[in-house]
Structures are given as structure tokens and as C-alpha cells.
Amino acid sequence: MLPRYADCCGRLHSDAEPAPDAAALMRSRYSAYVLGLPDYLLATWHASTRPATLEPDPAGLKWLGLEVRRHVVADADHAMVEFVARSKLGGRAHRLHELSRFVRENGRWYYVDGELR
């Protein structure tokens, strides 16, 4: 059974609590893309690599799912998450396969950057 939005990513999106680990932050960031929450995406992007703004998703983009393949904890404040996000645009299917780096500062996890696979 899937968790309800309010019990999962909704709590993170509302800033009721920080993500407990990098994998949870990855899932919440994916959900933020699906829901069109650019403020959350920017707030969870590390200041050293964060863009000034985000372009909105192209009209007609439909997110289809997220598969977290690996969550590797390097130490208490560094982790990597490998994921595949699927989408569809203009009748064509797309896959985003990335190995993302995360860092924890002051008790909060942040997305740093990613390497496309």
C-alpha cells in the first residue's frame, strides 16, 4: 500500500519536518516536480549548485513514475541516490537516469548535483 501524500512528501513539502535521509529527499523532490513546486525544489538544492530560478516544465509533460535504484550512505552527511524518473511529452516516452549527490547541513539534506547515466 502506498503512503498518503500528507503522510509522506506532503509533510516535507509543507516544511513540517526535514527529510530523514537522501532517498526521502529524492522522492519528495520528484513529487515536487510532479506537483509544480519550484520553491521547494530550490529550497532543497544546495546553495553551491542551486540555479537562481527554475524553468517550468514544458506544456504537456506528464511524469509517470520514479524508481529509486540505490541509496548509498557515504557517511553521516553525504549520500548518493541512483534513480530513474519516467515521463512522457508529445507522445514520446523519456527516462531520466541519474546518480545524484546529497549533503546534510544543519540537520537538513540537500541535492547537490547528479551524473546522468
pLDDT in tens, 6-62: 777 889 999 888 999 999 999 999 999 999 999 999 999 999 999 999 998 899 999
d(CA 61, CA 77): 34
Q: Nearest CA to 83 among 70, 94, 101, 74?
A: 70
In this structure, are residues 24 and 12 in contact, taking their beta carbons and an 8 Å threshold? yes
Entry pTM: 0.93
Pick the CATH number of 5-116 from 3.40.50.300, 3.90.600.10, 3.10.450.50, 3.40.50.2300: 3.10.450.50
Q: Which residues, other chains included, contact 78 with Cβ-Cβ below 8 Å and sequence gap of 6+? A: 101, 102, 103, 104
Mean pLDDT value across residues 108-114 = 98
Partners of residue 67 on adjacent β-strands: 84
Which pLDDT score, from 0 to 100, does residue 4 have? 82
**Predicted pLDDT of residue 88:** 97
Q: What ranges do the domains of the chain cover?
A: 5-116
